[in-house]
Amino acid sequence: MKSNCGQAPQRPHEMDELLEHIWTFREKGKEINKALLTELGFENLPKWLQSLETEGLIKIQGEEIHYTKTGEEEAQDIIRRHRLAERLFADVFNTSEETWERQACELEHKSVLTEEATNAVCAFLGHPPTCPHGRAIPRGDCCHEYSHDLKPFVTPLSEAKIAEHYRIVFITPKHHMRLDRLAVLGVLPGSDIYIHQKKPSYVVRVGETDIALDPEIVRDIYVKKAA
């Protein structure tokens, strides 16, 4: 009996990587053109660009390059898989940056990490808004659907239990000044945190210091159970 594994057609990795680079360049506010992509050092760049255009993923207009609607959706999925994989290997497996970067490059391809698996990873991580570098992770359908099927590995501090030890994974403040204030108090990713009480106000211990926090700030702090 033949296995179903590996029968789906796979797009060459070079094409996925180009779609990813176009996205990251655009995030930095750069105009996407052939000269910019040439700096990446791809062999046979004209071939891969032509293949992307033939598949309807980009439009080449002179020297300028633009996503099509389909291409942008594909690039968004690649970026989402890559950055979720970074979170997985950085936060769950506590690997080095070199390791989680390498593993993320392997898992960003749809032939490796399916949509269903990507959503499962996202839910397990608590739907993180950013990668370890602080870059935005595109939202998926799972981020808008509440489910009890999978217990998140990372949760908002507001949902953590009293008298249990946690470690801060990431902080997503709406205002940068708030992040600076938390940093001064020692509330940083990687810090251990312990909840004394939730009512009438939140009181937590970070290191040897007890701190009172507003509920709005507590919702911006995401934690995992400390080992």
Q: What is the pTM of this model?
A: 0.74
Same domain, 139 and 95: yes
Helix (H, G, I), strand (E, B) or coil at 101: helix
Same domain, 126 and 188: no
The pLDDT score that the predictor gives to residue 9 is 57
Structurally, how many domains does the chain consist of? 3
The pLDDT score that the predictor gives to residue 135 is 94
Q: Please, which pLDDT band fits residue 124 given cuts at 50, 70 and 90?
A: confident
Backbone conformation region of residue 21, classed left if phi is above 0, alpha if psi is from -120 to 50, else beta: alpha
Confidence check: pLDDT of 4 > 70: no
Confidence check: pLDDT of 16 > 80: yes
The pLDDT score that the predictor gives to residue 149 is 53
Same domain, 219 and 159: yes
Taking residues 173-199, what's their average pLDDT?
88
Taking residues 89-102, what's their average pLDDT?
88
Q: For the purposes of burial, counting CB atoms within 10 Å of the CB of 177, is it exposed (0-12), middle (13-18) or buried (19 or more)?
A: exposed
Confidence check: pLDDT of 8 > 50: no
User: What end-to-end distance do the CA atoms of the chain give, in Å?
Assistant: 45
Peptide bond into 152 cis (omega under 30): no
Same domain, 159 and 219: yes
Q: Of 67, 91, 112, which residue sits at a domain end? A: 67
Domain residues for the domain of 189 are 155-225
CATH code at 165?
2.30.30.90
Same domain, 124 and 93: yes
Taking residues 175-179, what's their average pLDDT?
80
128 or 4, higher pLDDT: 128
What is the token pair recorded at 52? 């992307």
Taking residues 9-17, what's their average pLDDT?
86
